[in-house]
Structure 1
């Protein structure tokens, strides 16, 4: 690989353990020059493919496109990892610059007339080429990618589309940075013992560690906007005034005025997306985004969301009435407020099931839940995951693991980044430094090993103390590791259909399905052990946890579904003059309970506006939930959560095939049929709920 002298070889020549990058040799200031060189190299490769004098073939066009841009892929994966998980002002400044440049670069490729002619000629001849199913899927992906990038538009239209994409990339970067800035800068510092009323020890430990990170004086406790602190604070703090103050800061992320206010950014994003969809011949942006998904149309999405909404709202109203009763017992007058819900719901759970989150948490050690994740993978898929000590990753907290199959062959490398920090954006996600495939690369390598990582934001414990998780935290860990397995178990030939390279409303199936194994009794019995005594969770407590799985289902589903409905409303309109008015109108029409807020209000809805990955696609979690409920039912019907026949079918038809076959065909091959939403409603505890009259949109 020949590179300019101004590029740091560590960015592209990965010669660490099993091909890992040497993260310790990469400096923030290396990226700008590396991007310039890598973009130039990729452009030269694209020109060579487009101007090849030989007639187009699958190998000299599609395979060539699949392996082109290796340097750019490596630089990009390292940079975007740093931008999300360990950022700073230098990286953020480059992010604002490079996001539009990358958009411009890929727009130019998508509108390369000579290149599209070659791809189009192959598409027209596809039935006579003797292609495999996977090759047909790869060809289709490239052809549709060019069409959706504007290959069939006039030059003027192409220029406008490229300009739109460039602007959207810059706006998405700013949106995410604004939210991170609000999260990083806000904290509620508490020093008075009375301010800590009701808080369990594990939360005070986490708040003390957060205060220390902010260089606060000893004896100070910090409420931060990290979900792993703010949610338990709202759950346990008996100080209603402090709950209100923290809640207001949480829901106002991105909407505090000034330079970081995201509302104007949302307005511009929605206008540009609408224009983009029209340019490409779609009635609206949602129709454009859903064209290549299982859902197909906005109408199908809204049908599912509204069916669930009616039952969720009815259930939430029942839950609200119970909470109001508890508040009255406490002498709190007036309506239930959003900052009351978690606190009194926890009291209600204690009353109904005779256990509390604080009673459960000592049994959910991060280390043990990681072990549980790995054990489930061993039982289902016969892979062994072992930590490798002493390997530098992109942050000192990040851990490195080898993933080996039953024969001991190395299948993947996995990195786990579990703790919250101010340099990391909120939430949890899976991504990769490189994806599995079997193609021969320019450097002579035959295929690549998947290098997958999970990022979470659990509260870091005080030194010498274990990290304790909530049940939701533990589910998050399983969820992201399910995504990780989708990447690590991939067994395809072509990179573009590797691992999570599937439609947006199918990609959540492997992750949400994996969550089910957390609460399989034999897993909880083995790994839910008390951090002090080592004793397993008592059977009585385990039974209560399992009985309470659908507790607060109305609240949880209303939070999510309202966000998904607002997302769809935004993207089925011709731009939006006042995003907050549209949000309010949607919530009013569906009868949003005043005691609950959207899980992601518009100004901090990063799934939808920090890039467009989940734009007109937030619904996909629920679409996949229909699939995952039905998929786990297959194991229940077999009478064994680790049934080897079903596990083999799951691995071979879901986790390993990536996007190499149609998702509906993949699911049918595993299950023998497509699912019905009733399994999902039953899982949520909503199947028998009576709908409220007049609650539809």
Structure 2
């Protein structure tokens, strides 16, 4: 068997596990060439390891087959964690091109392992009745994984499946590459300072800094001298729209956002339609009528019909609320602005200021990033789970960009849990949105503790200025840290079962629960202090925010449901319907929304097909419903916390022990019943979203 030393030079930075605490990778020491060589050698090593498993003359057992497969591929896992962190968070053109090159190779590698009939035969021969606990669960999950992967197919069908998987990997990488480029290219350049009226100085400074990074402005240009660059987030509705007073500029920003992927050298719709057709071909090969049916085989949702039932119950009620909200804002202020998508955020914010005395823009000085993180996010985790966070600046120099931060996380008594890494600021090479991922997962079998990253796209402040968050960004930080806690508090033997390795449609549940602590009075009082004066939020602000909570909820729900319906529609196409739908994606998207009772001219979906990275560049295909599916659990769990005293160690310990620590070592719905004492109920979610009536 080939060893890494045979193929990689002695000085290769990933030749062996990192010597840094908890094997934090030394990103700064890795070149793209190092990563490419490491991935290819890692694949070769794992192939050799698996070949030894499959060609063994010994009768198959859990130890020599299932556990051995689980622990194979150490080099590949180590290098891939570094590479895909960089592709998403610092995806230079060269790295995006390399990802497009390597993705089909990695897909072929996984197929070669999972579709080898010898593996299916050995796994089928193992007596599940002789196993218990995590061993039994690992065998169960592996058998399900083999079935979903197509291990039951015959030779010709396996070859066709492998071709499809390679094409999907390549096309998805190309979609992401084009989308990142188009999002950067369509950022709106402003040369007249007066057009930025309404933006706070920090936002203006961030736009100036973005113009410098994009090469539109000299780094030493005088303050107040343009141009300024309004960068685009992944969402349809951009954060700038709430504050900009210039309606024409609001429309320009909005149209730049919704135009992504529609035309030009970075057009993505053609790629998206090819992905839709490839997934349908794959589903048919695997015995499903559509991709959604295939995708649900390893999810918690029981059927296509069950998902459609939930969506159809919510969409008409949410749209009715959105229409009522639109009628309200149409009559506010001077009434001059049309209630168009580019005007809604501005009019909605104005209405909130007037009706609820809530000015979210004016609240930003109270949400300084470092204080929100340490006195808010970390403090809540300490109160619930007894965790402490010690910053390790000496480790940050091993990361891939200046300004990133590292904390060591420990339990009471000093036992180290793992590392938490924050990459908070936007850059042109970073994919849009926010996410959590791990580069090391909790595993007793491997002796590893988690190394967890949270990545966001907060506009970088001007040098010497504090980073101020919007209320939405504060929510995102608490949300993503909920995912981080799922990774940090994981317990278990096998890395593929711990932390967030749960079915896609319930992975959002713990992160959504963590949002509840944003407005916990003792937490809010600690972190929400004016960045200059240190004063707490003005008296009554929390009550005003709570009174305003349902304002605009219909609009936000429709935005989300619109994107969910688009995802579901593309992935419930059949052989009889796919050609007509993919011939005109824009018309199909519009028809899907209107037939569901949504008016896209009033409330556009959160993502349009051309820039829906979740489903065409990531793993959420036929899975964007997951947020609301998981929110059923979330809303029900939040009621339990409130009924049982809220932010207490006892409550935190119960939630951690029955849910966060369990990961996929047992079925998550079983874990939920152990935590709650029953299945989740829908009513709390409907109340939260104001959908209990018409």
**TM-score, normalised with respect to structure 2:** 0.95
Note the C-alpha offset of 1:331. Answer: 3.0
Note the C-alpha offset of 1:132. Answer: 1.8
Check 1:201–1:195 CA distance in 2 against 1; reply closer, same or farther (3 A cut): same
Contact 1:227 1:457 in 2 (8 A): no
Query: What secondary structure is seen at the aligned counterpart in 1 of 2:332?
Result: helix
When structure 1 is superposed on structure 2, of 182-191 and 493-502 the one drifting more is 182-191
Query: For this pair of structures, how many residues does the alignment match?
Result: 673
1:642 lines up with 2:647 in the alignment: yes
Q: Hey, what's the Cα distance between the residues in 2 that align with 1:3 and 1:298? A: 49
Q: Counterpart of 1:224?
A: 231
1:276 lines up with 2:278 in the alignment: no
Q: Counterpart of 1:659?
A: 664
Check 1:114–1:402 CA distance in 2 against 1; reply closer, same or farther (3 A cut): same
Query: What secondary structure is seen at the aligned counterpart in 1 of 2:389?
Result: strand
Query: What secondary structure is seen at the aligned counterpart in 2 of 1:455?
Result: strand
Alignment of 1:499-518 (within 5 A): 499-518=499-518
Query: What secondary structure is seen at the aligned counterpart in 2 of 1:438?
Result: coil
Q: Counterpart of 1:66?
A: 70
Query: What secondary structure is seen at the aligned counterpart in 2 of 1:339?
Result: coil
Q: Cα deviations across residues 653-692 of structure 1 (Å, max 9, x unaligned)?
A: 11101100111110000001111221012122332x32xx
2:299 is matched with which residue: 283, 293, 310? 293
1:397 lines up with 2:399 in the alignment: no
1:370 is matched with which residue: 364, 369, 373? 373
1:352 lines up with 2:355 in the alignment: yes
Q: Hey, what's the Cα distance between the residues in 1 that align with 2:407 and 2:236? A: 28
Q: Hey, what's the Cα distance between the residues in 1 that align with 2:610 and 2:590? A: 13
Q: Cα deviations across residues 131-155 of structure 1 (Å, max 9, x unaligned)?
A: 1232221101111211222211110
Alignment of 1:443-592 (within 5 A): 447-574=447-574, 575=578, 576-578=581-583, 579-592=585-598
Q: Counterpart of 2:676?
A: 671
Q: Counterpart of 1:682?
A: 687
Q: Hey, what's the Cα distance between the residues in 1 that align with 2:503 and 2:4? A: 36
Q: Counterpart of 2:85?
A: 81
Contact 1:4 1:37 in 2 (8 A): no
Q: Hey, what's the Cα distance between the residues in 2 that align with 1:208 and 1:65? A: 51
Query: What secondary structure is seen at the aligned counterpart in 2 of 1:487?
Result: helix
Q: Hey, what's the Cα distance between the residues in 2 that align with 1:31 and 1:563? A: 35
Alignment of 1:12-23 (within 5 A): 12-13=15-16, 14-23=18-27
Q: Counterpart of 2:111?
A: 107
Q: Counterpart of 1:624?
A: 630
Q: Hey, what's the Cα distance between the residues in 1 that align with 2:691 and 2:532? A: 38
Q: CA-atom RMSD, angstroms?
A: 1.6
**TM-score, normalised with respect to structure 1:** 0.94
When structure 1 is superposed on structure 2, of 4-13 and 666-675 the one drifting more is 4-13
Alignment of 1:42-191 (within 5 A): 42-122=46-126, 125-127=127-129, 129=130, 131-191=131-191
Q: Counterpart of 2:430?
A: 424
1:599 lines up with 2:599 in the alignment: no
Check 1:202–1:227 CA distance in 2 against 1; reply closer, same or farther (3 A cut): farther
Contact 1:479 1:515 in 2 (8 A): yes
Note the C-alpha offset of 1:200. Answer: 2.1
Q: Hey, what's the Cα distance between the residues in 2 that align with 1:228 and 1:275? A: 30
Query: What secondary structure is seen at the aligned counterpart in 1 of 2:463?
Result: coil
When structure 1 is superposed on structure 2, of 196-205 and 600-609 the one drifting more is 196-205
Q: Counterpart of 1:694?
A: none
Note the C-alpha offset of 1:229. Answer: 12
Q: Hey, what's the Cα distance between the residues in 1 that align with 2:317 and 2:288? A: 32
Q: Counterpart of 1:342?
A: 345
Check 1:170–1:545 CA distance in 2 against 1; reply closer, same or farther (3 A cut): same
Contact 2:615 2:621 in 1 (8 A): yes
1:235 lines up with 2:235 in the alignment: no
Note the C-alpha offset of 1:184. Answer: 1.5
Contact 1:203 1:232 in 2 (8 A): no
Q: Hey, what's the Cα distance between the residues in 2 that align with 1:314 and 1:48? A: 61
Note the C-alpha offset of 1:547. Answer: 2.0
Q: Cα deviations across residues 319-339 of structure 1 (Å, max 9, x unaligned)?
A: 110122136x2434xx52110
Q: Cα deviations across residues 560-597 of structure 1 (Å, max 9, x unaligned)?
A: 00111111111111234233232111112123222211
Q: Counterpart of 2:328?
A: 322
Q: Cα deviations across residues 176-222 of structure 1 (Å, max 9, x unaligned)?
A: 11110011223322232321222222322221222222231432222
Contact 1:207 1:222 in 2 (8 A): yes
When structure 1 is superposed on structure 2, of 292-301 and 571-580 the one drifting more is 571-580
Contact 1:11 1:78 in 2 (8 A): no
Structure 2: state its 5+ residue gaps: none
Query: What secondary structure is seen at the aligned counterpart in 2 of 1:448?
Result: coil
Q: Hey, what's the Cα distance between the residues in 1 that align with 2:205 and 2:649? A: 42
1:252 is matched with which residue: 259, 266, 269? 259
Structure 1: state its 5+ residue gaps: 441-446, 691-697
Q: Cα deviations across residues 492-543 of structure 1 (Å, max 9, x unaligned)?
A: 1111101011011111011111011111122111110000101111222222
When structure 1 is superposed on structure 2, of 7-16 and 226-235 the one drifting more is 226-235
